[in-house]
Amino acid sequence: MSNINPEERSRCLFENLNDAFFVFDPDGYRVLDANPTAERLTGLPCKQLVGMTLSELLLADEGHSLDALIQAYQSTGVFHSQEGYRLHSEKGDSSALNISVSRIHTSPKPLGLVVACDITKRKQALRTAKDELAYSSVPVRDGTGRVTGSLGILQDVTERKQSEVELRESEERLGLAMRGDFRRAVGLGSCHGSGILVTSIS
């Protein structure tokens, strides 16, 4: 690595990293350059990204502000690994982002660097996990009874939730049958892999 030109090495990293890199003019708040990952996330070529403002690229969720990003790359502020931002996309959707901002001390003047990591899939996985897991905690006490921590317990409730769904469907089928709507009762059962046996007594 020591024989590689530092400028060439930086360009290689810029073009091949999996995070979106946007280089900004700290004075004009506009994009000067962007890497291929930024092109993929936005659906826009670099030549179209160049000249766009921060507000045209990013959305701030409630409780967050784009001003904090601008301040960070204007004044060498600390802004590392923050969530609560989304990236505009040509496809019409917006990716959830983890954002880091830094000020690059280049010549003839410093530049701003915004690094965006797409965390959309991670957030979707967390939402799925919340649907399938139940969390509870109990306090941990020492010999004197003083609380020194807590013990977290995760339970897989997938089967319990499935049983609740099946119970509701069974009750619905029974209600339909009792009202004489046997066709709907049988149809509801067949759609969900179960059925209801209707016997008439004459």
Within a domain: 200:
no
Poorest-pLDDT segment among 22-26, 38-42, 97-101, 157-161: 157-161
Confidence label for 127 from pLDDT (cuts 50, 70 and 90):
low
pLDDT at residue 75 above 70? Answer: yes
pLDDT in the model for residue 53: 93
pLDDT value at 19 more than 60? yes
Whether residues 22 and 101 share a domain: the answer is yes
* Residues 134 and 186 placed together within one structural domain of the fold: no
In SS3 terms, 21-36 reads as EEEECCCCCEEEEECH
Note the pLDDT of residue 200. Answer: 45
Are 97 and 20 found together in one domain? yes
The lowest-confidence range among 34-38, 68-72, 78-82, 187-191 is 187-191
Identify whether residues 86 and 144 lie together within a single domain.
no
**What gap in Å lies between CA 193 and CA 176, rounded to an integer?**
17
Let me know if residue 13 belongs to a domain: yes
| Percentage, residues of the chain above pLDDT 90 | 11
What residues make up the domain containing 132? Answer: 127-155
CATH number at residue 90: 3.30.450.20
Q: Are residues 52 and 151 in the same domain?
A: no
Contact between 101 and 73 (Cβ < 8 Å) = yes
Residue 26 vs residue 166, higher pLDDT: 26
- Longest C-alpha distance within the chain, in Å? 98
pLDDT band at residue 109 using 50, 70 and 90 as cut-offs: confident
Going by pLDDT thresholds of 50, 70 and 90, the confidence category of residue 175 is low
Q: Does a structural domain hold residue 174?
A: yes
Instruction: Give how many domains the chain has, as a whole number.
Output: 3
Q: 34 with 85, same domain?
A: yes
Q: pLDDT band for position 2 (50/70/90)?
A: low
What pLDDT does 31 receive? Answer: 94
Read off the tokens for 52: 């766009």
**Do residues 91 and 176 share a domain?**
no
Q: Are residues 146 and 170 in the same domain?
A: no
Is 201 inside any structural domain?
no
Tell me the pLDDT of the chain averaged across its residues.
Answer: 75
Q: Are residues 150 and 168 in the same domain?
A: no
Q: Residues 105-125: what's their mean pLDDT?
A: 84
Q: Same domain for 28 and 93?
A: yes
CA neighbor of 117 nearest in space, from 158, 159, 81: 81
Question: Bridge-partner residues for 9, per DSSP?
Answer: none
Instruction: Examine the domain organization and report whether 10 and 109 are in the same domain.
Output: yes
Q: Where does the pLDDT of residue 120 fall: very low under 50, low under 70, confident under 90, or very high at 90 and above?
A: confident
My answer on whether 164 and 149 are in the same domain is no
The most confident of 69-73, 77-81, 114-118, by mean pLDDT = 114-118
User: Residue 31: how many CB atoms within 10 A of its CB?
Assistant: 23
pLDDT at site 29 = 84
